[in-house]
Structure 1
Amino acid sequence: MKSWYLVYCKPRSETRAQQNLALQQIETYLPTLPQQITKSGKTSVKRLPLFPCYLFIYFDPLEISVSKIHSTRGVSRIIGCREEMTAIDDAIVHSIKMREAKLLNALQLSSDELPGENDEPALVVGEKVKFIDGPFKDLEGIFEEESGDKRCHILFEIMGQQKKVSVPRVSIKAV
């Protein structure tokens, strides 16, 4: 039966893996986080992977060989692939897709409508934070560090592992 699985890709090879899996008729989903970039006075939206080095794939392991996926260019391995593969609930992938779409729509409508960035108090390393916007909305994490003037690193637990994500400062608040 077809299910969603998580693939670990080689560094900066998510798109390559996605293209090569598509050639094998395997459905993929690469969650991205839109980021506004201003260069030479022009503002554009660039989409960065939400989970760097990770890609969701939708296939049936009884129809398509796992070794075929492991040998695909850009793919390193399937997460949780030992004796019995760990499928990901469709609701999780659907939720990420919906939140990604909402964030992209909000960013395209008006960058001025995002939560204010001037009134935010400074965060302390190790402080609990809550996502107020974006694909992780309403989830909690731990503030790790500032990353540039408008982004920061947050630690949070997903699928039983602690992961670090880089998010816009305006999308989190102290708990």
Structure 2
Amino acid sequence: MKAWYLVYCKPRNEARAQQNLSMQQLETYLPMYRRQVKSSGGEISVAESPLFPNYLFLYFDPTVTSVRSIHATRGVARIVGCREDMTPLDDSLVRAIRRRELQLEKLPEEVALSPGDKVKFCDGPFTDLEAVFLEKDGLKRCMVLFEFMGQQKQLDVAQSSIVRICA
């Protein structure tokens, strides 16, 4: 019976494994997220990265498609949990990840923050503490610098947990 299985790929070979498995007429799913990257010239661009590095989901029937042929596919290291009796993933898990990935694509852009902007935590254990925005760090996360117990700390936080302080 067809089901979803988790495939562990060789480092940075998720796309290669996905392409080679697709050429075998197998359905794959590689969840991606967008993040901002700064080039050496200072230009900011958007790059897509795997949500789960080195992993992708594969929908197949082990009684029809040989597990050995999947393990021999370029880019694939192994099927996770592949022993005598393979355990498939729950379909609802893959559907939930797909749904969440679509929601992330549709989310409105946050108010743009610039390095050096003063911000305040509006959520979490540091609520009401002030900090300085440093840079975006991937999708919906950023780096801030704040003083805590007499020391300056750099912290990776969700961008939604801070707000700009109007000076």
When normalised by structure 2's length, the TM-score is: 0.67
- Counterpart pick for 1:170 among 155, 158, 162: 158
Does residue 26 in structure 1 map to residue 26 in structure 2?
Answer: yes
Q: How many residues align?
A: 130
1:1-175 to 2 correspondence within 5 Å? 1-39=1-39, 40=41, 42-106=43-107, 109-112=108-111, 118-120=119-121, 149-151=135-137, 169-170=157-158
Cα separation, 1, equivalents of 2:94 and 2:159: 21
Q: CA RMSD in A?
A: 2.9
Q: CA contact under 8 A between 1:6 and 1:56: conserved in structure 2?
A: yes
Unaligned runs of 5+ in 2: 113-117, 126-133, 139-155, 162-167
Cα separation, 1, equivalents of 2:31 and 2:18: 12
Alpha-carbon distance change, 27 to 14 in structure 1, aligned in 2, over 3 angstroms: same
When normalised by structure 1's length, the TM-score is: 0.64
Q: Between the two proteins, what is the percent identity of the paired residues? A: 50
Alpha-carbon distance change, 118 to 100 in structure 1, aligned in 2, over 3 angstroms: farther
Cα separation, 1, equivalents of 2:78 and 2:88: 14
Find the structure with the greater CA-based Rg: 2
Q: What letter is aligned with 1:24?
A: Q
Cα separation, 1, equivalents of 2:110 and 2:58: 32
SS of 2:65 mapped into structure 1: coil
- For residues 1-37 of structure 1, what are the alpha-carbon distances to aligned partners after superposition, in whole Å with 9 as ceiling and x for unaligned? 1100000000000000000000000100111121123
